[in-house]
Amino acid sequence: MATPLQRPAGHPGSRILSVASYRPRTEVGNEPIAALIDSSDEWIRRRCGIESRRRAAPDEDLVMMAVTAASKALAAAGVDPADVSAVLVATMSHRSGAASAAPLVATALGATRAAAMDLGAACAGFPYALATADALVRSGSAGYVVVVGSERMTDIIDERDRSTAFLFGDGAGAVVIGPAQTCEIGPVVWGADGSGSELLRYDEAGILRMAGPEVFRWATSIVPDLARRALDAAGIAAADLAAFIPHQANLRIISATAKALELGPHVRVATDITTNGNTGAASIPQAMATLSDTEGPALLVGFGAGLSYAAQVVTLP
């Protein structure tokens, strides 16, 4: 009989120890964008709820934003970078010469012994990466994991495209995941529908193109059911939530889902999109950072290109 292989004992659960974000210095209102797409501030607000968004300067590259957010999260968690086992970067806009951003982020953080990889699930990337971090910690394969969503979405959109020019912004958000004696990151409910991959795609020049109305209909049809499945998997009801933190794609999608879930007035609904725009894989951790004074269970829901989607309930740090 072959000698059985050894493996770490693992942990009963994992938890989010801290959350932090980085928002670029430059704030851009609707007027300059509307002028390029023959539109208006009122039309943009009515269509998606966005009043302004952040635009990264040349010195605010994707790695710099990720490192800044992650450094703040590590400091808040009291975790030494040398003790980090893995760095996961969720992104869809990394365009530098380096094959992936995560090794650059890990090195800049001083996490010199950490595994590092990018995770490409578009705007669902953060909950995908969070589920991966949870599994790594619970299995004993990792002690502490840094999960970052970082995007320079304005690098991959056409400023004259009426479907995308007004929607997207730049920024980063990060969390630190560590072991816990109880389950504080609930089971992930996820999936993908490749038949809809053409609804959100890159053209020959690497620019993001979107069939806006079709994506809106898909999101509003799938997100409420996805949210209910995540609540069921975690064994709680919508009434038990302290917060609802969906991907910040469109204020109308957020409002429709909150209504479908019949969320009570005690549940804080993240609406970071109004002043931050859609920041892709960074939108959920950035929105989470705005609710830093909220304690208790929060429902996270991500969805986007692929078409990919994921949701889970977490305990806010």
For residue 39, the number of C-alpha atoms closer than 13 Å in the C-beta half-sphere is: 22
| Burial (CB count <10 Å: 0-12, 13-18, 19+), residue 56 | buried
Half-sphere exposure of 101 (CA within 13 A, CB side): 26
Residues in the chain: 317
Has 48 been annotated as catalytic? no
First-to-last alpha carbon distance for the chain, in angstroms, is: 47
Catalytic residue among 94, 183, 247, 250: 247
What DSSP line would sit under 192-222, residue for residue?
Answer: E-GGGGGGEEE-TTS-EEE-HHHHHHHHHHH
| Residue tagged active-site, from 30, 250, 276, 278 | 278
Distance (Å, rounded) from C-alpha 278 to C-alpha 210? 13
- Report CA 104 to chain centroid distance, whole Å: 19
DSSP structural state of residue 262: T
Q: Which residues pair with 178 in a beta bridge?
A: 15
Annotated catalytic residue 11? no
**Residue type at 192?**
A
Determine the residue type at 135: A
* Catalytic annotation, pick one of 123, 183, 250, 276: 123
Residue appearing with tokens 């959100």: 200
For residues 173 and 19, give the distance between their C-alpha atoms in angstroms, rounded to a whole number: 7
Is-catalytic flag, 278? yes
Active site residues: 123, 247, 278
